[in-house]
Amino acid sequence: AQMALERDYEGQRESVTRMRALMQTMQEAALFVNVTTGRIVEANPAAGRLLQTNPDELPGTALKRLLRHGSEPVDVDQLVEAARDGRAAPATLSSNNCATPLRLRPMSFRAAGQRVLLCLLTRHEQPDETPPGSDAHM
Amino acid sequence: AQMALERDYEGQRESVTRMRALMQTMQEAALFVNVTTGRIVEANPAAGRLLQTNPDELPGTALKRLLRHGSEPVDVDQLVEAARDGRAAPATLSSNNCATPLRLRPMSFRAAGQRVLLCLLTRHEQPDETPPGSDAHM
């Protein structure tokens, strides 16, 4: 049992390292949001570039302060519903008066007893590879 | 000490779950390759779509069988060097006689005592958001 636990622990440590490499290198902006608090818990450098913020300063920030949906701040609960329906959502940067159009693909899951929302953000004019209806759910 | 270990374990479990959500949902094709064996150890659905293969069948496959660099199979060691230099590499699908042009962004790191290569693949005509010289190294 002890060896199984250690193998499990090692395997998890591997995931932590792979996750860090992936978040650092991927081009898509990725934000993990605690649904209960509505605040970002993890963000990658691509998200920092898109949101024009130091990515290390994003954790703790409320998502609704950064993004708008139409004329209103984004609503995290609505994004969780959109994730369940497999819908992407248009969004714009709150900070940008020119309203840079973004596309937000949401995915909702539970981790460590908490509901988490993953937001993948791209600029709206970028071509989208994902065929319609193929957004994955956990 | 036991509580710290448990917190650590829980935090890692959270990373495993976030990693799974990210791999499932991201649009970029991601391949993790064991540098010693040259074989894929983890692949996401976007990689399956790009490589026109069931992503569950990718682990265990040698990367050099799937991708070419010019007229030759890709060389994993050369990709590790490119990662160290912060260079992206052009590549094409081995299986495709039309030689679909791809862009492979490599990143190399160590995990659990092994060297791992992360390959992020996009179709070459897609616009690239990453400013030159900003590829991250671990």
Q: Report the percent of chain B where pLDDT is more than 90.
A: 60
ipTM of the complex: 0.84
What pLDDT shows up at residue A84?
A: 93
Establish how many alpha carbons lie within 13 A of residue B76's alpha carbon, considering only the half-sphere containing its beta carbon. Answer: 21
pTM above 0.90, yes or no: no
| Alpha-carbon span A105 to B27, nearest angstrom | 10
8 Å CB contact of A111 and B17: yes
8 Å CB contact of A120 and B25: yes
What pLDDT shows up at residue A10?
A: 75
| Alpha-carbon span A37 to A61, nearest angstrom | 10
Mean pLDDT of A123-130: 62
Q: Report the percent of chain A where pLDDT is more than 90.
A: 60
Cα–Cα separations (whole angstroms), residue B75 to A13, B68, B114, B120: 27, 9, 18, 15
What pLDDT shows up at residue A90?
A: 83
What single DSSP character describes residue B27?
S
What pLDDT shows up at residue B70?
A: 85
Read off the pLDDT of residues A10-25 as tens digits, 9 standing for 90 and up. Answer: 778 888 999 999 999 9
Instruction: Identify from A5, A6, A8, A26 which residue to disrupt to test chain B contact, counting B C-beta atoms within 10 A and taking the largest count.
Output: A26
| Alpha-carbon span A50 to A102, nearest angstrom | 9
What pLDDT shows up at residue B131?
A: 46
What pLDDT shows up at residue B100?
A: 76
Q: Which residues of chain B have pLDDT under 50?
A: 130-138
pLDDT at A132 exceeding the cut of 60: no
Residue A99's pLDDT band, with cuts at 50, 70 and 90, is: low
What pLDDT shows up at residue B76?
A: 96
- Which of A90 and A131 is assigned the larger pLDDT? A90
Q: What backbone phi and psi angles, to 5 degrees, belong to B51? A: -90, 0
What pLDDT shows up at residue A127?
A: 55
Residues of A with Cβ-Cβ distance to B27 under 8 angstroms: 28, 105, 120, 122, 128-130
Find out whether A63 and A40 touch, Cβ atoms under 8 Å. Answer: yes
Residues of B with Cβ-Cβ distance to A43 under 8 angstroms: none
Which one of B11, B12, B20 has the shortest CB-CB distance to A138?
B20
What pLDDT shows up at residue B132?
A: 44
